[in-house]
Structure 1
Amino acid sequence: MSISAAPAQVRKLVGAFVDAPDDRLDTEFQQLAGAVWRDGAVTGLAHPAVRELATCFDAVDNRRKGYLAVLLGLLAEAEYPATDGPVATAVGDGLDTYIGLLGGLDAGDPLGLALVYLLAHFPAGRDRILAAAGPAGAGLDEDDHSRLDRALAALDPDRPVLGRVFPSPSAWRTYGTEGDFDQRWVETMSPDQIVRGWQADTRTAFAGLGAKAHWAVRNRTSPATPPAVTFPPGDRIPRATDLDAGVFAAHAAALRCPGCGGAFEFGRHRAHCGKCDAAYPITSGILDLTKSTAGDQADDFKFMLAESPHMALFYELVARPNFLRLNGSNWDGAVTPDVEDAYIAQHVRPVDGPVLDLAAGAGRWTGKLADTVGAGRVIALDLNGPMLSMLRARLAGVPALMSGATPLPFNDASLGAVLCWNALQAFPDDAPAAIAEVGRCLRPGGTFTLMTYRNSDDPVYRHFVASHTFSQYSGGPRPFDLDTLKESLAAAGLRIRDEWGPGTFVFITAERV
């Protein structure tokens, strides 16, 4: 394409968007956005497009302004961490206009959310932008205000606060009380790692604002207000207690040693493999299959279980609902805990054998599983000790295994059903192998019921999801390609008998054939 042809093409794309009827507006926006921005990078048409967009910005209605604000934010973000690149500078020429518009909008207005996302990319205007946004709770809600504030902030290399952007900085300030424990890993980071971590956090702040704004603009509505969080004080958080060894022994026929596949004999504080002589500790009703020990107690494991019970609740009550909003496109709150409960109750249909909650977390949906099939049939499995400790505190009769999903510590065709709820995306690279293990362990006719997420059909929304990273930079969301996920189920001998997918959710129940 010649340089001289570029402005003409830009004018055509912008004109098609501006003049589009409402039922084609999103399609024309995708055409325009795809021509100037792809997968987080600008194209050669981006710079002339900014000038054309600035020309028409004041003349279009608020819905179109919202789309254009999202696109201008994407173009400015593409040059981050630089904030003075040619495209960002051209976008910033309209700063007075964006700030002026923001000051006259109600909290949660789709255009207001889009303008906040756009303005988050201009730290040089920090004071003016925050003044226009108003105090937290009056203009923007506290979460979005804290994301904006963080996006516009400068790194203090001597006192870096890292990994506290998702779900929002305000959530960490309000509920993340175990700060010393959470920030120990920062002390091990080099100066370069700190800078990279800060930049990843900034991108997460951009993405949190952008995902919400883009959804609101596309759907022409304000996102739903999340339910208030009731967070107990630390001295009222329950603790796990010991469990009678007979509860584990009741599932002995299904369980096997992860090292050699041998059978277990269960004592009060350990499980012993008669084949390889390995012994695994049982503490507070949790069998730790990640390592063997010759003793009856594993003091380091006990310490870990007691170390951060608060963070298990933080995940469940604060992070998880925001994760559903982001990954499930659930900004309208259509998928509620009651909806999830109802799906589990309706679709988990075990044959004979124990029922496994795979990657059970803190046990909220393990409890629903126990209500559905009976607590005496349920085994919980997760790799996170504090989460399992919270699960055990809630569900006194449910045994827990600290173990990964590949391999599962169960014999072939030994399980009656498996639940994997809001978890498969936590280990996406291992998901095909984990699904294969589920297929191996299920008895014929047993069900595998899961809830996870698929990639959005919208490349802009996909970008916002992929731009998130979480605390300790262990990675961000990795939604599935739905066809690939179905191929893994089929390869494991699992036939889908129910599928449902509001937004970008994936609810599936498959049966072992």
Structure 2
Amino acid sequence: MTVAPVAPTTDTLLKDLLHTAPDDLDAAFLRLTDALWAAGKPTDAAPAAVPELVAALPDADEARQGRLALLLGLLAETEHATGAGPLTTAVRAGLAHYLPLLTGAQPGGPLQLAALYLLSHLGEDRDAILEAAAGTELTPDDRTRLERCLQPLDPDNVVLGRVWPSPHEWQLGDAELAFDQSWISNLTPEQLKATWSSDTRSVLAYTGAKALWALRNGTPTVVHDTSVHADARPAEPPAPRIEEFSRFADVLRCPDCRATLSYEQSGATCTGCARSYPLPYGVLDLSAGAGDAHGDDDVLQNAAGLQGIGFHYENVLRPAFLRVMGQNWGGAVTPADEDAYLTEQLAAVDGPVLDVAAGAGRWTAVVAEAAGDGGVLALDLIAPMLAGLRSRLPEIATLRASALALPVADSSLAAVNCWNALQALPDAKAAIDEIGRVLRPGGRLTLLTFRWGSDPVYRYFQGSHAFPGSPDGIKLFETEQIHTWLSDAGLSPVAETGPGTFVIITAEKR
């Protein structure tokens, strides 16, 4: 007769966390977490365990206090969507233990960051928490994240979309505030509440990911992009020049019927189906409506169209995104590293290059310099991003088009760059299939994206970020999955690296 093993009790798992050797501390934390929490939901054992976790805090050392605080925050967050419930109430009972973790810990250190994550869930204790925080050394971004998570929704005075990675990172002028209100005022109460909740959850996820990494690795390091490509706000876009596109007549195709295009100063026309494609602000719009499918009711799509988003994306949003998704809190991958990789991998390219989901052009400039005289096409769907790219790089042929239906002839490109974009596309496999279609034999794909973290807690924080195109949370990958898609598209990896949870691959068309 085989006797089934008995799962350890919560009391046993908590004792393990409190007394295990430092090298086993994280494993003990994950075992205890697994017993009480699973992918954002509490287990049956969670309600009874919360008072035990709170009672263990005062006598624990800082490393264990930080993990207990993080776990209590995760349990309170299970009620985020429905509002404070019995678990949050039980967590709130320990407030007197949490405030000293905030005020007495090393500024910016792991314990303070864990305390910030926990306290960010206790909105009913907002006044006491903010009073304690007022006399505490916090960075402006940490302080405004805490304030935003504790703030109740006021429908008459609300900011949406401009809160991540922290409200401090957004300096709003009168024109931007007016732009915001123009679409916020049209939301239904249900949309307003849902978007506010989604914004809050994304801020909580940033706070939690930062705290978890710090508990394992120490105080995070912020690496700034000192590249000349990101130094200044772009000027007004230059006048349209159809010659920028007609030089790629052998490459560009109608996205509807794949026929060739004819060119005139006002834009391009398909020689097959006779569809016309305009040239607003010097961007050839080959989207065929793909970028307009969300309509006015998609709140996050409206947020994506915020004025100045291109400049803000390159300087604030993108670095923060890499910290969360790539576990890049220690600066293992710097902008200079990315520049060097692309330069090395694309230096020998001979022929036209397409930069897919080019954003505001920070890495398009690197691709263009590395690829030499073959010519570069930059493609994105978000019009404000393209306006920034066009202003910064007036010599680059800039297209508005879908990455899932590239307006490009079969086997016509020497290289495609898809840098920090695959996870933002609605169908990653279809995008890789398209890249395989347009690359000529021997053509190169340079790809940067992200894989899921190795543990369920960090994976939860990665997936809790909601952005335009992923309103239900970011969808990342397993490395093997990407390899399969590349192979199916006729591509074979020739170089690969991946510190943290980065996936950086160069593949060639067979």
**TM-score by shorter chain over 0.5:** yes
Contact 2:440/2:509 (CA < 8 Å) preserved in 1?
yes
Distance change >3 Å, CA 197–CA 386, structure 1 → 2: closer
Which residue does the alignment assign to 2:35? Answer: 35
Secondary structure at 1:173's aligned position in 2? coil
Residue from 391, 394, 397 that aligns with 1:393: 391
Contact 1:197/1:473 (CA < 8 Å) preserved in 2?
no
Residue from 461, 476, 481 that aligns with 2:458: 461
Distance change >3 Å, CA 140–CA 368, structure 1 → 2: same
Which amino acid counterpart does residue 20 of structure 1 have in structure 2?
Answer: T
After TM superposition, list the pairs within 5 Å mapping 1:428-507 onto structure 2: 429-470=426-467, 474-507=471-504
Which amino acid counterpart does residue 500 of structure 1 have in structure 2?
Answer: T
Secondary structure at 2:164's aligned position in 1? coil
Contact 1:110/1:216 (CA < 8 Å) preserved in 2?
yes
Which residue does the alignment assign to 2:254? Answer: 257
* Cα deviation code 1:328-362 (max 9, x no counterpart): 11111221110110110111256543110011111
Q: Distance in 1 between matches of 2:174 and 2:220?
A: 24
Which residue does the alignment assign to 2:109? Answer: 109
Cα distance, 1:246 vs. partner?
A: 2.7
Q: Distance in 2 between matches of 1:128 and 1:231?
A: 44
Which residue does the alignment assign to 1:321? Answer: 319
Cα distance, 1:450 vs. partner?
A: 0.7
Residue from 165, 168, 173 that aligns with 1:167: 165
Q: Distance in 2 between matches of 1:441 and 1:123?
A: 52
Distance change >3 Å, CA 176–CA 511, structure 1 → 2: farther
Q: Distance in 1 between matches of 2:356 and 2:51?
A: 52
Q: Distance in 1 between matches of 2:430 and 2:83?
A: 43
Does residue 275 in structure 1 map to residue 253 in structure 2?
no
Which residue does the alignment assign to 1:21? Answer: 21
Contact 2:234/2:392 (CA < 8 Å) preserved in 1?
no
Which is worse superposed, 81-90 or 355-364? Answer: 81-90
Q: Distance in 1 between matches of 2:129 and 2:84?
A: 17
Distance change >3 Å, CA 201–CA 418, structure 1 → 2: same
Which amino acid counterpart does residue 461 of structure 2 have in structure 1?
Answer: F
Which residue does the alignment assign to 1:300? Answer: none
Q: Distance in 2 between matches of 1:113 and 1:255?
A: 50
Q: Distance in 2 between matches of 1:183 and 1:473?
A: 23
Instruction: Give structure 2 stretches of 5+ with no counterpart.
Output: 1-5, 290-301
Contact 1:439/1:494 (CA < 8 Å) preserved in 2?
yes
Cα distance, 1:200 vs. partner?
A: 1.8
Which residue does the alignment assign to 1:44? Answer: 44
Instruction: Give structure 1 stretches of 5+ with no counterpart.
Output: 1-5, 293-303
Distance change >3 Å, CA 480–CA 67, structure 1 → 2: same
Which amino acid counterpart does residue 508 of structure 1 have in structure 2?
Answer: I
* Cα deviation code 1:374-422 (max 9, x no counterpart): 2651111111122112112121211011100121111111000000111
Contact 1:237/1:310 (CA < 8 Å) preserved in 2?
no
Does residue 418 in structure 1 map to residue 438 in structure 2?
no
Which amino acid counterpart does residue 484 of structure 2 have in structure 1?
Answer: E
Distance change >3 Å, CA 337–CA 192, structure 1 → 2: same
Secondary structure at 2:445's aligned position in 1? strand
Distance change >3 Å, CA 510–CA 237, structure 1 → 2: closer
Residue from 281, 284, 289 that aligns with 1:287: 284
Q: Distance in 2 between matches of 1:145 and 1:230?
A: 28
Contact 2:63/2:215 (CA < 8 Å) preserved in 1?
yes
Cα distance, 1:481 vs. partner?
A: 2.2
Distance change >3 Å, CA 431–CA 229, structure 1 → 2: same
Distance change >3 Å, CA 44–CA 422, structure 1 → 2: same
Secondary structure at 2:474's aligned position in 1? coil
Secondary structure at 1:444's aligned position in 2? strand
Which residue does the alignment assign to 1:248? Answer: 245
After TM superposition, list the pairs within 5 Å mapping 1:192-203 onto structure 2: 192-203=190-201
Which amino acid counterpart does residue 456 of structure 1 have in structure 2?
Answer: G
Which is worse superposed, 488-497 or 168-177? Answer: 168-177
Secondary structure at 2:256's aligned position in 1? coil
Distance change >3 Å, CA 338–CA 8, structure 1 → 2: closer
Does residue 381 in structure 1 map to residue 361 in structure 2?
no
Cα distance, 1:507 vs. partner?
A: 0.4
Q: Distance in 2 between matches of 1:500 and 1:263?
A: 38
TM-score normalized with structure 1 length? 0.90
Does residue 190 in structure 1 map to residue 202 in structure 2?
no
Which residue does the alignment assign to 1:297? Answer: none
Q: Distance in 2 between matches of 1:449 and 1:363?
A: 16
Distance change >3 Å, CA 372–CA 128, structure 1 → 2: same
Q: What's the RMSD between the two structures over aligned residues? A: 2.6
Distance change >3 Å, CA 277–CA 84, structure 1 → 2: closer
After TM superposition, list the pairs within 5 Å mapping 1:63-78 onto structure 2: 63-78=63-78
Distance change >3 Å, CA 309–CA 203, structure 1 → 2: closer
Q: Distance in 2 between matches of 1:155 and 1:241?
A: 42
Which is worse superposed, 149-158 or 78-87? Answer: 78-87
Secondary structure at 2:124's aligned position in 1? helix
After TM superposition, list the pairs within 5 Å mapping 1:72-151 onto structure 2: 72-81=72-81, 84-134=84-134, 139-151=137-149
Contact 2:452/2:477 (CA < 8 Å) preserved in 1?
yes
Secondary structure at 1:477's aligned position in 2? coil
After TM superposition, list the pairs within 5 Å mapping 1:324-343 onto structure 2: 324-343=322-341
Distance change >3 Å, CA 190–CA 52, structure 1 → 2: same
* Cα deviation code 1:469-493 (max 9, x no counterpart): 2379845322112221211111000
Q: Distance in 2 between matches of 1:472 and 1:342?
A: 29
Residue from 342, 345, 369 that aligns with 1:344: 342
